[in-house]
């Protein structure tokens, strides 16, 4: 498991220092360095260069061992990550409330098995506010690198069989161009995928790989210095000029990546100005601790922000940066350095390192599963607070079996609420919509049971019940699901001629804006309006139901919170303080509904048999909304009801009398 020796390049650690500093500054003070996230891209180029440099040397010398390479990666990366993840798990138990801790458990499992980028791609966007409740969000980039480490050695050993340096360079460059084109193409359809995944990010690592595989070029010192200055200017300008609104990665990431490549080239065997500056010992030291600093800074920021329940002051942020740096230095000295060098015979050491690394990460992954399965461990709390957290851990019990277009025709028995219908009988009530409809199921099921009506949940998360239209700018995966859901919903209506009432609910404000016709709706099944607006599509849909003597109940979205004030509510319950202080201004909690409610009210006025319920009138007074009603905590997360909350609201919902409209 020996490795071909490679000369140490101190200026590379100086470049790492800039990369990690830009990320830390961006996370602490984004207004100072709005494009500081490009530090990750600098890391990618450096990693591609260093790893390929090592691998190519081993392969050409006949010393390459895939197992040995993985052992070196485990020794280099796993100890610091395992210590950090374990500490974050303990801190999370002390700081996080059950809902946030449950979500953390999921991310811990994903991060421990090098799957964090896939997990966070399915969650909130990297730049969205909920990111501040995700202490392992930053591990997405570590997962990208880990996945590259698993795949690239196997590709490289095949590519190096080509003796022609031109062919070798062409193959790697071709892979990089394909990856770059993939990233650029994704920006218009699924920018989050382009941001998080290896395939659209691989070109950044491959730029570094090309540098390692290319024949060294001898430059005069003055030219090398000029190249380093140009490269540094490209990196710095990207960090200053880009922002979270920039389309990224793709073309906007190219200047920082190419600038990093120029800085690296300028220092290879040259005495460039850039290499001399970056070799300054304080910068080199920051570069040496950069991995641990990257690991630790974000969790400390998230815990502090979560505990404070507000934006942190500049003094607090400065203290956190200092604390992160001190912890990183200790981690580098007593964890990274300690485990980096073998301490026993090579063969036994390799096996023990791999076994220990796998065992540590497996233990952490299992801990994440337990945290998730225990719903964030609400038993840490008792009394009214414990009851609130217990309620928050339970949503609609029918969701798993009944949400999704594929379940509309597959799980009929499990999704029948209210009166149990006979096999050849038609449903009388159907619930259509996204997750904002799904959470009403316990409430509607309770009403349907008392009314003696056979009802059916037929929902699809992220897809509203506006069956003729699709929201634009959705990722292709969601658009495809919505198209199939709408088609399945129309087929459900045709298969149930005895339907008396359809209930429609969704995150309606997201339908204010550009809409497009649903291509999956067969021509003639639903009249397509001339205007792509919520009003036009809803009128077409309501007309479709009214023609079939089906009444329509539209339920407006419940008030949404930027961040659910769970900590405030818990403190109020513990101290008997008034929970009113934990509310949110009605205008902010119901933003967007000032545009959707008039649409629904006008439709209800124009059609007999159309009814509207606005839950905001139940949750809010004229000024403030609260997540509590009669002492019952209603929410599961910042925009959805828990099961107990949905059932409690039954007393406040006025359902229409079925059949009151002349047929």
63-104 per-position pLDDT tens digit: 899 999 999 999 999 999 999 999 999 999 999 988 789 999
CA proximity to 461, closest of 441, 447, 442: 441
What element of type H or E holds 501? strand 501-505
Tokens of 413: 């028995």
Of the ranges 132-141, 264-273, 295-304, 521-530, the best mean pLDDT one:
295-304
Strand partners, 641: 635
- 514, 472 Cβ separation under 8 angstroms: yes
Tokens of 586: 């009605």
Higher local confidence (pLDDT), 657 or 366: 366
513-552 per-position pLDDT tens digit: 878 888 767 556 777 787 889 999 999 999 999 999 999 9
Distance CA 360, CA 243 (A): 37
Predicted confidence at residue 485, as pLDDT, reads 94
User: Average pLDDT, stretch 164-170?
Assistant: 85
Predicted confidence at residue 125, as pLDDT, reads 44
Number of H helices, E strands in the chain: 28, 14
Predicted confidence at residue 661, as pLDDT, reads 52
What element of type H or E holds 536? helix 534-546
Work out whether strand 501-505 and strand 429-433 pair parallel, antiparallel, or are unpaired.
Answer: parallel
Lowest mean pLDDT among 193-197, 214-218, 220-224, 458-462: 214-218
User: Average pLDDT, stretch 172-189?
Assistant: 95
Predicted confidence at residue 3, as pLDDT, reads 55
Interior CA angle at 279 toward 274 and 282, to 5°? Answer: 125
CA proximity to 556, closest of 473, 618, 608: 618
Where are the extended beta strands (E) located within 156-212? none
Q: List the domain boundaries for the chain.
A: 10-367, 399-652
User: Average pLDDT, stretch 448-452?
Assistant: 95
Distance CA 417, CA 415 (A): 6
Sign of the alpha-carbon dihedral angle for 308, 137, 142, 266: negative
Predicted confidence at residue 662, as pLDDT, reads 47
Tokens of 27: 């996370």
Distance CA 414, CA 421 (A): 12
Q: How large is the angle between the packed helices 290-308 and 281-288, nearest 10 degrees?
A: 70
Q: What is each CA distance from 227 to 9, 217, 271, in whole angstroms?
A: 17, 12, 12
Q: How far is CA 453 from the centre of its chain?
A: 40
State the pLDDT confidence band at 145, using cuts at 50, 70 and 90: very high
CA proximity to 82, closest of 344, 291, 290: 291
Reduced to 3 states (helix: H, G, I; strand: E, B; else coil), residue 312 is coil
Backbone angles phi, psi at 393, to 5 degrees: -80, -5
Predicted confidence at residue 347, as pLDDT, reads 55
In this predicted structure, the answer to whether residue 659 has a pLDDT above a threshold of 70 is no
Distance CA 262, CA 272 (A): 11
Cβ within 8 Å of residue 322, ≥6 positions away: none
Interior CA angle at 503 toward 620 and 548, to 5°? Answer: 145
Reduced to 3 states (helix: H, G, I; strand: E, B; else coil), residue 398 is coil
State the pLDDT confidence band at 576, using cuts at 50, 70 and 90: low
Predicted confidence at residue 515, as pLDDT, reads 86
State the pLDDT confidence band at 637, using cuts at 50, 70 and 90: confident
State the pLDDT confidence band at 573, using cuts at 50, 70 and 90: confident
Higher local confidence (pLDDT), 378 or 239: 239
Note the CATH number of domain 399-652: 3.40.50.1110
Distance CA 388, CA 392 (A): 6
Predicted confidence at residue 126, as pLDDT, reads 45
* Average pLDDT value over all residues in the chain: 90
- 237, 255 Cβ separation under 8 angstroms: yes
Predicted confidence at residue 130, as pLDDT, reads 59
In this predicted structure, the answer to whether residue 127 has a pLDDT above a threshold of 50 is no
CA proximity to 113, closest of 361, 318, 305: 361
Distance CA 424, CA 436 (A): 30
Task: For 543-567, give the secondary structure using H, E and C.
Answer: HHHHCCCCEEEEECCCCCCCCCCHH
Tokens of 187: 């920006």
Q: pLDDT over 90 for what percent of the chain?
A: 70
Residue with tokens 């008039």: 598
Residue with tokens 């996080």: 96
Lowest mean pLDDT among 63-72, 153-162, 337-346, 444-453: 337-346
- 408, 489 Cβ separation under 8 angstroms: yes
Distance CA 131, CA 133 (A): 5
Residue with tokens 């030291």: 285
CA proximity to 474, closest of 439, 445, 449, 511: 511
Listing DSSP states for 118-167 in one string gives HHHHTSS-TTSGGGGG-TTTTHHHHHHHHHHHHHHHHHHHHHTT---HHH
16-48 per-position pLDDT tens digit: 999 999 999 999 999 999 999 999 999 999 999
For 494, half-sphere exposure in the C-beta direction (CA atoms, 13 angstrom radius) is 8
Lowest mean pLDDT among 433-437, 523-527, 553-557: 523-527
User: Average pLDDT, stretch 410-416?
Assistant: 85
Predicted confidence at residue 439, as pLDDT, reads 97
Predicted confidence at residue 167, as pLDDT, reads 87
Q: How far is CA 581 from the centre of its chain?
A: 30
In this predicted structure, the answer to whether residue 5 has a pLDDT above a threshold of 70 is no
Sign of the alpha-carbon dihedral angle for 584, 585, 588, 594: positive
Q: How large is the angle between the packed helices 534-546 and 593-606, nearest 10 degrees?
A: 30
CA proximity to 188, closest of 254, 248, 129, 141: 248
For the question of whether the overall pTM of this predicted structure is more than 0.85, the answer is no
State the pLDDT confidence band at 600, using cuts at 50, 70 and 90: very high
State the pLDDT confidence band at 411, using cuts at 50, 70 and 90: confident
Tokens of 561: 């919170």
Predicted confidence at residue 339, as pLDDT, reads 83
């Amino acid at each position: 498991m020996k490795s071909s020796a490679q000369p140490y390049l101190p200026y590379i650690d100086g470049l790492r220092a800039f990369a990690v500093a830009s990320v830390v500054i961006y996370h602490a003070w984004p207004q100072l360095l709005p494009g500081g996230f490009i530090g990750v891209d600098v890391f990618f180029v450096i990693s591609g260069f260093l790893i390929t440099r090592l691998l190519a040397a081993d392969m050409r010398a006949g010393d390459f061992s895939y197992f040995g390479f993985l052992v070196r990666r485990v020794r280099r990366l796993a100890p610091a990550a395992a210590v950090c993840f374990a500490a974050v798990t303990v801190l999370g138990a002390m700081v996080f409330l059950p809902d946030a801790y449950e979500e953390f458990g999921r991310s811990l499992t994903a991060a421990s098995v090098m799957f964090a980028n896939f997990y966070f791609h399915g969650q909130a966007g990297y730049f969205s506010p909920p990111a501040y409740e995700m202490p392992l969000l930053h591990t997405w980039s570590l997962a990208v690198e880990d996945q590259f480490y698993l795949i690239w050695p196997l590709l490289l050993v095949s590519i190096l069989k080509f003796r022609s340096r031109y062919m070798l360079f062409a193959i790697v460059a071709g892979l990089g161009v394909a990856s770059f084109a993939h990233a650029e193409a994704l920006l218009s359809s699924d920018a989050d995928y382009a941001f998080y995944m290896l395939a659209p990010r691989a070109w950044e690592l491959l730029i570094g790989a090309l540098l390692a595989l290319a024949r060294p070029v001898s430059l005069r010192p003055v030219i090398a210095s000029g190249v380093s200055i140009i490269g540094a200017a490209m990196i710095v300008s990207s960090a200053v000029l880009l922002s979270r609104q920039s389309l990224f990665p793709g073309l906007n990431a190219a200047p920082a990546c190419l600038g990093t490549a120029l800085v690296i080239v300028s220092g290879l065997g040259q005495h460039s100005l850039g290499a001399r500056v970056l070799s300054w010992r304080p910068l080199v030291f920051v570069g040496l601790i950069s991995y641990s600093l990257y690991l630790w800074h974000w969790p400390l920021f998230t815990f502090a922000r979560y505990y404070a329940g507000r934006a942190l002051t500049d003094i607090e942020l400065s203290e956190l940066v200092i604390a992160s740096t001190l912890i990183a230095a200790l981690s580098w000295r007593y964890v990274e350095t300690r485990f980096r060098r073998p301490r026993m015979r090579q063969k036994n050491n390799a096996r023990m390192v791999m076994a220990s690394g796998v065992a540590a990460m497996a233990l952490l992954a299992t801990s994440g599963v337990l945290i998730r399965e225990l719903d964030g461990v609400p038993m840490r709390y008792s009394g009214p607070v414990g009851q609130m957290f217990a309620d928050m851990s339970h949503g609609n019990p029918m969701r798993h079996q009944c949400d999704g277009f594929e379940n509309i025709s597959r799980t009929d028995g499990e999704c029948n609420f209210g009166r149990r219908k006979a096999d050849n009988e038609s449903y009388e009530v159907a619930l259509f919509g996204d997750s904002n409809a799904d959470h009403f199921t316990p409430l509607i099921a309770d009403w349907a049971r008392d009314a003696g009506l056979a009802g059916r949940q037929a929902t699809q998360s992220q897809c509203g019940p506006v069956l003729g239209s699709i929201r634009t700018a959705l990722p292709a995966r969601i658009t495809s699901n919505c198209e199939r859901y709408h088609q399945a919903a129309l087929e459900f209506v045709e298969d149930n001629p005895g339907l008396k009432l359809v209930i429609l609910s969704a995150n309606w404000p997201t339908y204010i804006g550009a809409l497009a016709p649903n291509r999956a709706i067969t021509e003639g099944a639903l009249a397509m309006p001339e205007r792509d607006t919520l009003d036009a599509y809803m009128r077409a849909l309501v007309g479709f139901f009214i023609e079939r003597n089906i009444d329509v109940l539209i339920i407006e979205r419940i008030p949404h919170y930027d961040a659910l004030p769970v900590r405030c509510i818990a403190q109020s319950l513990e101290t008997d303080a008034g929970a009113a202080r934990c509310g949110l201004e009605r205008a902010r909690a119901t933003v967007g509904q000032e545009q959707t409610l008039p649409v629904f009210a006008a439709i209800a006025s124009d059609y007999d048999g159309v009814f509207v319920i606005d839950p905001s009138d139940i949750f809010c007074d004229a000024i403030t909304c609260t997540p509590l009603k009669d002492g019952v905590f209603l929410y599961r997360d910042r925009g959805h009801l828990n099961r107990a909350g949905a059932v409690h609201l039954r007393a406040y919902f006025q359902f229409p009398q079925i059949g009151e409209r002349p047929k």
